[in-house]
């Protein structure tokens, strides 16, 4: 991990229960892999999911794009990097999955989340002050 607090990295070895009979990770598991890195970067800035809820906001994903470049395989160790991009009107996080041994880029993705006021259920048209403050502290 770098000194950039807008970025976090987690390491994972692809388990047997995530792969098909050819030893390739099922594409649906990638969302979980990205979630691990997303949670790490949000905790790193002091706004993990628990803190978000305590601040009164939910952050549903409204867009998820992924580019599968190379298959992930059983027992392969990968690093999933998450980096916060745009955050003023929505929260964009960019992801890269690399092979832990070679550094080869395997997958890239991006998620976009919006703030929803938990009490009212209303979508926020701009990111709430709690997120903006955390980002300004970086």
- The per-residue pLDDT for 138 is 82
The list of the chain residues with pLDDT below 70 reads 1-3
Q: What is the DSSP letter of 5?
A: T
Tokens 């890269």 belong to residue: 96
Residue 127, number of CB atoms within 10 A of its CB = 21
Q: What is the DSSP letter of 44?
A: H
pLDDT score recorded for residue 3: 65
pLDDT of residue 102: 98
Distance CA 63, CA 46 (A): 23
Domains by residue range for the chain, with CATH: 7-137 (3.10.129.10)
What's the pLDDT at 5? 86
pTM for the full predicted model: 0.92
Cα angle 42, 43, 48 (rounded to 5 degrees) comes to: 75
Residue pair 109/66 in contact (Cβ under 8 Å)? The answer is yes
Q: pLDDT at position 7, please?
A: 97
Cα-flanking dihedrals φ and ψ of residue 101, to 5°?
Answer: -85, -45
Please report, to the nearest 10 degrees, the dihedral formed by the alpha carbons of residues 132, 96, 32, 30 taken in order: 140
């Amino acid at each position: 991990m770098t000194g950039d607090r807008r970025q976090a990295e987690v390491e994972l070895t692809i388990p047997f229960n995530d792969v098909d009979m050819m030893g390739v990770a099922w594409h649906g598991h990638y969302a979980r892999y990205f979630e691990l890195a997303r949670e790490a970067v949000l905790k790193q800035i002091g706004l993990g999911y628990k803190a978000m809820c305590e601040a009164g906001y939910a952050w549903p994903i409204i867009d998820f794009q992924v580019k599968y470049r190379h298959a992930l395989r059983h027992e392969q160790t990968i690093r999933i990097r998450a980096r916060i991009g745009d955050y003023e009107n929505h929260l964009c996080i960019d992801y890269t999955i690399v092979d832990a041994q070679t550094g080869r880029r395997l997958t890239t993705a991006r998620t976009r989340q919006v703030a929803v006021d938990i009490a009212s259920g209303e979508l926020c048209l701009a990111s709430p002050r709690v997120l903006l403050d955390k980002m300004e502290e970086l």
